[in-house]
Structure 1
Amino acid sequence: MRTGTLSPQSRAAAIAALSGEELDVLVIGAGVVGAGAALDAVTRGLSVGLVEARDFASGTSSRSSKLIHGGLRYLEMLDFGLVREALRERGLLIQRLAPHLVRPVPFLYPLQHRGWERLYAGAGVALYDTMGISSGNARGLPRHRHLGRRAALRVAPGLKPEALVGALQYYDAQVDDARHTMFLARTAAAYGAHVASRTRVTGFLREGERVTGVTAVDLEHDVTFEIRARQVINATGVWTDDTQALVGERGQFHVRASKGVHLVVPRDRIHSATGLILRTATSVLFVIPWGRHWIVGTTDTDWNLDKAHPAASSRDIDYLLTEVNKVLVTPLTRQDVQGVYAGLRPLLSGESEMSSQLSREHTVASPAPGLVVVAGGKYTTYRVMARDAVDAAAHGLGGGVPASCTENVPLLGAEGFAALWNQRRVLAREAGLHVARVEHLLRRYGTLVDEVLELVRRDPALGEPLAGAEDYLRAEIAYAAAREGARHLEDVMTRRTHISVQTFDRGLAAARPAAELMAAVLGWSAEQADREVEHYTARVRAERASQEQPDDETADAARLGAPEVVPLVGQPG
């Protein structure tokens, strides 16, 4: 199998193929569900296209809480089916599908009441563990344990003693969401899918009532073309209603956007060896260990403004700081916040006025012959959503399509990961890198680490840290442009890496060195490189300005001060 290189050349070849013969399935939207659907369809032997208006995972799928979990709060809602399904997917991802990107993480649930709360919460966590075991995929995750106050404070000394009478500790998993979604797209490409980012669908082709394809624009070169397909899958998440409007179909359901804001703070600001899950008045708050940082989130509020760049307001940040500081010995301040990001959950509209109570179940529908729409759900269950969408498309193809096999299809970088992880010291010696560097690379590339190290072997300068973001090697920036489909500086700074939220300057010092590395790969002129840095700088300024605004409306207006990056038409690459 090919390694699914998403290079400038492969993108050009994909667009040529998309505009050629009729496909079996075209997927619109390369978030986690769309990329998953492309992989599902192509591994059933279908001819498949995947198009994305911006970058892979540029919407919801790069702005999640980065958790792969069953959802303890859904147990409280008695949604046992969703929890069981999610726990099964969690196990598959850890054990088989993406062990290089998904790993167990401990959480502490502080108890504030004696007696009844331990019984109530303990029964819920015990059921959570049991459902995980019954799924047949719980290996590698320790069972929960009960802790008294003293034992809990030994694990998390940063908690106020008066904030708990004891605690429960349990395990879930976390994921690098943007990289996982990109790996889904790469794996689909490796099996033969035609994958093209920065390709916007502008309309639908029809023969009578039947949808027969789409019109699309290659935004990198301002070229309009048609893509013909026997089945089109709309997997555009919070843009579902907008995409449906292009085909003149309102659909059988509507998607409502709920904004979730997260803060990123340095690891030394909270003294704890475990993540935390805290109850708030309306939902739960996670404090999630994430490399050398913590992620604190999330909010859950209705959002009706710009979908491409949801803005975090000063009110959102203050809310998260206030809630987490209720339990911390040393309060977090605004100065502790390295990064802020906001994402939109695509929730199926219901009668509830509270977005936190809307359904996380997913729905698949065929509002017109030749068109399948999939919406709702949660990140953890993306593979099930993708399978169901392709099942519907297969039905529209007239049958004879094999069943989904993606539960047995590891993503690129997964096969042999455990063995390579055991050999990390040998790899470090051979590459002339510190073992900590190799561990970082293995957790990002899995067994494809050899491709990154090959760049260093050819050019030792690429083995040096990136100026302004020393956690990353220069080779990772070059590799992102050459193999991972990064077309613009912001693709690298916010999704192939997380420099934009892991540095106090939001990546401004690293922007120029990163742009120069990308320019060498993508053939940018000096003018385009300048344009990329200017755009990224404007984006950071707009985000910072939005985070000083008092409410959603003013924050949204401030964030929209940075326009989308526009390539120079006719540029190489």
Structure 2
Amino acid sequence: MSVLSLEQRASSLEALQDGEYDVLVVGGGVTGAGIALDAASRGLRTAVIEAQDWASGTSSRSSRLVHGGLRYLYNLDFKLVAEALRERGNLLTTIAPHLVEAQPFLWPLKTPVIERAYSAVGVGMYDALAVAGAGGHKTVPIQQHHTKKGALKRFPEIKPSALNGAIEFYDARVDDARLVITLIRTALSYGAEAASRTRVHEFLKDSRGHAAGVVATDLETGNEITVHAKRVINATGIWTEETQDMAGGTGGLKVLASKGVHIVIPRERFTAQTGIFLRTEKSVLFIIPWQHYWVIGTTDTAWHEQLKHPVPTSEDIDYILEQANKILDRPLTREDIIGTYAGLRPLLQPKVLDESKSTKVSREHTVTEVIPGMVAIAGGKLTTYRVMAEDAVDFALGEEEAKRRPSVTSSLPLAGAAGYQAAVNQSERLGAKYGFDADRMKHLLSRYGSEIGEVLATIDEDPTLATPLEAAPQFIRAEVHRACTVEGALHLEDIFVARVRLNSEARDRGGAAVDEIAEIAAAALGWSAEQTEAEKDNYRARIASELAAEAQSNDAAASAERTQAPDIVG
């Protein structure tokens, strides 16, 4: 079973102290989750632990894109782009077709001939690399050229003076946190053990000075556990150096924390079906359509505050609005914004770094030895998580063992992927049976894929779970229940941030839904009345701190406001 639950977590924590693991992964973001699946699916005895909730760092705060990185072609980084496009194709067709959806983008052009010509060459190369990476098959449509009139038809809200025409190309989008949780669940199905909110505070070494495991604390109980492992892989992203320091030695990686901010806009604000891609003086800007909203971002600035709770500032929000409004006929205002979020990218840091040019830092990943028996991986991006995982496990195993136990994840479907198209084909029939319209069925299928039958089975057992949430009717009560019983949510904030994602998709960050969601969670997780009230108070304090933070003009002030709210554990 690939179920993340209270019972599974307790079982894994007990198992972690029993025997020796071939691979212990520290870090439960997309890279660590990918490593856990890669190692477990090779037949290695595998464990993965995370200090917070799954995907709580960078991997729940991205642009939610699976893309080749069109802008990297301008840096002539063909290898990185080809690799990312190959992985995009795998995700769309085999690994996670239920979670990853092809998405068209318009690239507005301002000059009629020269810009269109060189842009067409770049996008054409992008398409060619994608087809080559898919063995000669198209996994998304190729570029299409539009006149000014044609571009305005595709995205009517563009300011007519902002373009002379456009190129339409494809990338893909993904719910980043849901991808991570699905990776962990799939790793469980291949025998891995997994425990969130389990913080490492010491690395064990054998008599030779080689890494031999960790001592960690279960933050839910305060209990200490000792985990023995032949190999340890540090996949802690922006915490890479902090984790390495605990192990000692002179090896390891240095990373730069670069903040990326996004704003969320109601779906009805634009009538367009395509997204927008723009190059800015500091980074790139994406306007990305989702079923119920638009995501607009991003920024790229060095971050020097605490790493756990990055937050957007008022200045960040103004910058995104300013960039978007350069091409919008009716300018966006703060009144249009229903959500904001900020994440930290773990960019590899060169020996000499000009922080004002953090976008120049390579996005390619690196794997290296920290001490014998312990490796670290950092860099890369969400799209190439699988390649990063394969490289990390290969490196940890060594050349001979890696050849004997090769990675199989390039063709391994994640939970919910196998039989996805068959589930889609049943959509109309199932919708009629449960009283769900096409919009509801699309929503459920894009979240659960072929596992939608499991969601509907819980409704058969308890018909009230089919009821939409009163304060957020795009979600039904069964989704909250599943977040707690299958997807590893331990606390109210876990549900709002990474599963029913109202923290970044609702104007009040889900405040109006706190009582209702807490009621469902309490029943599923066995909370007492006192614990339920504590969970609600904690999440409401988080909401207040996040709203106060985004009113500040600089990172230091915003960070200070955000950390006023206490963490639920630890």
- TM above 0.5: yes
Q: Please list, as runs of the form range in 1=range in 2, the aligned pairs for 1:333-372 lying within 5 A after superposition.
A: 333-350=333-350, 351-353=352-354, 354-372=357-375
Q: Mean Cα displacement is larger for which, 137-146 or 43-52?
A: 137-146
* 1:122 pairs with 2:120: yes
* 1:389 pairs with 2:387: no
What does residue 321 of structure 1 align with? 321
* 1:166 pairs with 2:165: yes
Q: What is the aligned length?
A: 565
1:333: how far off?
A: 0.6
**Inter-partner Cα distance in structure 1 for 2:139 and 2:511:** 39
CA offset digits 1:92-134 (Å, max 9, x no partner): 0000000000010000000012211111111100000001011
Question: What amino acid does structure 2 have at the position aligned with 1:85?
Answer: E
**Inter-partner Cα distance in structure 2 for 1:501 and 1:470:** 16
Q: Please list, as runs of the form range in 1=range in 2, the aligned pairs for 1:529-548 lying within 5 A after superposition.
A: 529-548=532-551
1:284/1:400 CA distance change after superposition, 3 Å:
closer
Asked if structure 2 preserves the Cα contact closer than 8 Å seen for 1:231 and 1:397, the reply is: no
What does residue 134 of structure 2 align with? 136
- Partner of 1:123, secondary structure, is helix
- Partner of 2:475, secondary structure, is strand
What does residue 248 of structure 2 align with? 248
The root-mean-square deviation of aligned C-alpha atoms, in Å, is 1.3
What does residue 432 of structure 2 align with? 429
1:400/1:286 CA distance change after superposition, 3 Å:
closer
Moved over 3 A (4+): 396-401
CA offset digits 1:256-303 (Å, max 9, x no partner): 110000000001223322100112112211000111211000000001
What does residue 377 of structure 2 align with? 374
**Inter-partner Cα distance in structure 1 for 2:400 and 2:502:** 44
**Inter-partner Cα distance in structure 1 for 2:252 and 2:112:** 47
1:425: how far off?
A: 0.6
What does residue 55 of structure 2 align with? 57
Asked if structure 2 preserves the Cα contact closer than 8 Å seen for 1:27 and 1:37, the reply is: yes
**Inter-partner Cα distance in structure 1 for 2:160 and 2:237:** 42
1:21: how far off?
A: 0.5
What does residue 525 of structure 1 align with? 528
Q: Mean Cα displacement is larger for which, 389-398 or 465-474?
A: 389-398
1:373/1:356 CA distance change after superposition, 3 Å:
same
* 1:100 pairs with 2:98: yes
Question: What amino acid does structure 2 have at the position aligned with 1:425?
Answer: E
Question: What amino acid does structure 1 have at the position aligned with 2:209?
Answer: E
Which 5+ residue runs of structure 1 have no aligned equivalent?
568-573
**Inter-partner Cα distance in structure 2 for 1:250 and 1:218:** 29
Over the matched positions of the two proteins, sequence identity in percent amounts to 49
What does residue 282 of structure 1 align with? 282
CA offset digits 1:421-464 (Å, max 9, x no partner): 01101111233322322221111011111111111111111110
**Inter-partner Cα distance in structure 2 for 1:438 and 1:277:** 29
1:251: how far off?
A: 2.8
- Partner of 1:170, secondary structure, is strand
1:399/1:258 CA distance change after superposition, 3 Å:
closer
**Inter-partner Cα distance in structure 1 for 2:490 and 2:399:** 34
- Partner of 2:231, secondary structure, is strand
CA offset digits 1:467-490 (Å, max 9, x no partner): 211110001101110111000111
**Inter-partner Cα distance in structure 2 for 1:19 and 1:307:** 29
Q: Please list, as runs of the form range in 1=range in 2, the aligned pairs for 1:503-514 lying within 5 A after superposition.
A: 503-514=506-517
- Partner of 1:466, secondary structure, is coil
The structure 2 residue matched to 1:499, chosen from 478, 499, 502, is: 502
Question: What amino acid does structure 2 have at the position aligned with 1:296?
Answer: I
Question: What amino acid does structure 1 have at the position aligned with 2:192?
Answer: A
**Inter-partner Cα distance in structure 2 for 1:481 and 1:399:** 36
Asked if structure 1 preserves the Cα contact closer than 8 Å seen for 2:37 and 2:186, the reply is: yes
CA offset digits 1:365-401 (Å, max 9, x no partner): 1121110111110110000000000001111896674
**Inter-partner Cα distance in structure 2 for 1:280 and 1:400:** 44
Asked if structure 2 preserves the Cα contact closer than 8 Å seen for 1:22 and 1:229, the reply is: yes
Question: What amino acid does structure 2 have at the position aligned with 1:24?
Answer: D
* 1:448 pairs with 2:451: yes
Question: What amino acid does structure 1 have at the position aligned with 2:424?
Answer: W
Asked if structure 1 preserves the Cα contact closer than 8 Å seen for 2:247 and 2:371, the reply is: no
CA offset digits 1:198-252 (Å, max 9, x no partner): 1111110011310100001111111001000000000000000000011113534
1:128/1:398 CA distance change after superposition, 3 Å:
closer
* 1:565 pairs with 2:568: yes
The structure 2 residue matched to 1:464, chosen from 464, 467, 492, is: 467
- Partner of 1:217, secondary structure, is strand
CA offset digits 1:284-340 (Å, max 9, x no partner): 110001112110000000011111100110000000001101110111111111000
Question: What amino acid does structure 1 have at the position aligned with 2:141?
Answer: P
Q: Mean Cα displacement is larger for which, 538-547 or 269-278?
A: 269-278
**Inter-partner Cα distance in structure 1 for 2:79 and 2:504:** 35
* 1:12 pairs with 2:10: yes
Report the TM-score, using the length of structure 1 for normalisation.
0.97
- Partner of 1:404, secondary structure, is coil
**Inter-partner Cα distance in structure 1 for 2:146 and 2:523:** 55
**Inter-partner Cα distance in structure 2 for 1:258 and 1:251:** 23
- Partner of 1:527, secondary structure, is helix
